[in-house]
Amino acid sequence: MRIALFTETFLPKVDGIVTRLKHTIEQLTRHGDEVLVFCPDGGLQSYHGAKIYGLSAFPLPLYPELKLALPRPEIGQQLAQFQPDLIHVVNPAVLGLAGIYYAKSSQIPLVASYHTHLPKYLDHYGLGIFEGLLWELLKGAHNQAQLNLCTSSAMVRELSDRGIERVDLWQRGVDTETFHPNKMTAPMREHLSQGEPASHLLLYVGRLGAEKEIEQIKPVLAAIPGARLAIVGDGPHRAVLESYFADTPTHFVGYLGGEKLAAAYAAADAFIFPSRTETLGLVLLEAMAAGCPVIAARSGGIPDIVTDGQNGYLFDPQDPQGAISATQKLFADPSANLQLRDNARTEAERWGWSAATQQLQGYYRQVVGARVGGKG
């Protein structure tokens, strides 16, 4: 099958969407599919056998890490040469609208997927008044597709409730070979804890944006004697966070990837994640694959991954003491903590990328088959 993939974000950017797309492309090309990626220009011309058509882009003012690429006529020329069987638009916002346009005008089957809970981000950037308008725009874009995919059952329900049609679940995926408990190393724990490896070590991994609510971790540090925090990642909110955590034992590590990131997950005592805006939370699965129990807000797609008391602890994000109580509970019983680690790894092992991509290929075949059948 020939698949044209439109995405608002791709390499060299690092985030959960890019991680999912990388693994999906690897699996698709490995099974003989041809993939053409339209994305903001990141200097790459190909990835794992897929051709990349990068378009010049400009930074989003509120979020300079995110580059916006505007649709251009040459997209149509590239599609005419590629002759896709299907177009897949990922988080259609700007560039994705071109994918929708060409799918409709050329009668090419269209799949859309929803990964970033943008309406919930608006409050964190002082734009909450526009949430209703954004939902209407999203509904208008997504309802052009023959199928809309979400990465958690919570998002399937919310999009359906918001009037988005033909919604289904694209199952989670994680690299259980890269992320594994055996990747733990003493030097990494020494590094993350800044020379205090015997202390309780909390870990956060992800984008440093206001919507991630990382500030909520500070009271947890104050409540757990001797606890330390390592924050892995970068983003526009980093300077604010560094100032906010300046009086705490917090290490801003910056970006880590590959084996170093795997070692970081495996070295921590707990992965703490206060965000309420997650459609899935891929980093949670990565932590669990590394045998790191999770403490996370009971919100969005997170309860699809974390079972409270079995492979981590969930807390009510409206409860100021919620994250504190959950963390205290985790550290109160070392033997129970070991069981949590084992259970976290067991859960992650159920969700390899191969199975997730096979499911996606099944969706693709259904959509293409329905269009072909409709023409007969």
Residue 42 sits at φ, ψ, to 5 deg, of -120, 10
Say how far apart CA 236 and CA 119 lie, in whole Å: 19
Can you give the pLDDT at residue 276?
A: 83
Altogether, the residues listed in the chain come to a count of: 376
CA distances 111 to 5, 141, 361, Å, are: 10, 11, 11
Strand duo 250-254 + 228-232: pairing: parallel
Q: How far apart are CA 107 and CA 354, in angstroms?
A: 30
What secondary structure letter does DSSP report for 335? H
Distance CA 70, CA 55 (A): 8
pLDDT for 376: 40
pLDDT in tens, the chain (376 residues): 999 999 999 999 888 899 999 999 999 999 999 999 999 999 999 999 999 999 999 887 766 677 889 999 999 999 999 999 999 999 998 999 999 999 999 999 999 999 876 756 656 566 667 777 878 998 999 999 999 999 888 889 999 999 999 999 999 889 999 999 999 999 999 999 999 999 999 999 998 988 899 999 999 999 999 999 999 999 999 999 999 999 999 999 999 999 999 999 999 999 999 988 776 678 999 999 999 999 999 988 888 889 999 999 999 999 989 999 999 999 998 888 899 999 999 999 988 898 899 999 999 999 999 866 555 4
Q: Give the pair of three-digit tokens for residue 119.
A: 């309406």
Residue 297 has which token pair? Answer: 């807000």
The token duo for 137 is 């725009």
Max Cα–Cα distance, the chain, nearest Å: 70
Domains and CATH numbers, the chain: 2-173+352-375 (3.40.50.2000), 181-348 (3.40.50.2000)
Matching residue, tokens 């560039």: 95
Place of tokens 């994640």: 273
Q: Beta strands of the chain (E only): which ranges?
A: 2-7, 34-40, 46-47, 50-55, 57-60, 63-69, 86-90, 110-114, 147-150, 167-169, 201-205, 228-232, 250-254, 270-273, 294-297, 312-315
Q: What is the pTM of this model?
A: 0.77
What is 166-189 written as a DSSP string? SEEE----B-TTTS-GGG--HHHH
For residues 300 and 117, the answer to whether their CB atoms sit within 8 Å is yes
CB burial string 114-126: b at 16+ within 10 A, e below? bbbbbbbbbebee
Residue 103 tokens, joined: 């799918």
Rounding to the nearest 10 degrees, give the CA dihedral for residues 302, 305, 309, 312.
Answer: -80
Cα–Cα distance for residue pair 212/124, rounded to 1 Å: 9
Q: Are the CB atoms for 109 and 369 separated by under 8 Å? A: no
Map residue 240 onto helix, strand or coil. Answer: helix
Contact 303/314 with Cβ under 8 angstroms?
yes
Using CA atoms in the order 370, 372, 373, 376, what is the torsion angle rounded to 10 degrees? 160
Predicted pLDDT at 16? 83
Decide: 2 and 85 in contact? Cβ < 8 Å: yes
Q: Which two tokens stand for residue 327?
A: 């963390």
The DSSP string of 47-61 is ETTEEEEEE-EEEET
Radius of gyration of the chain (CA): 21
Under a CB-based contact definition with an 8 Å cutoff, are residues 25 and 50 in contact?
Answer: yes
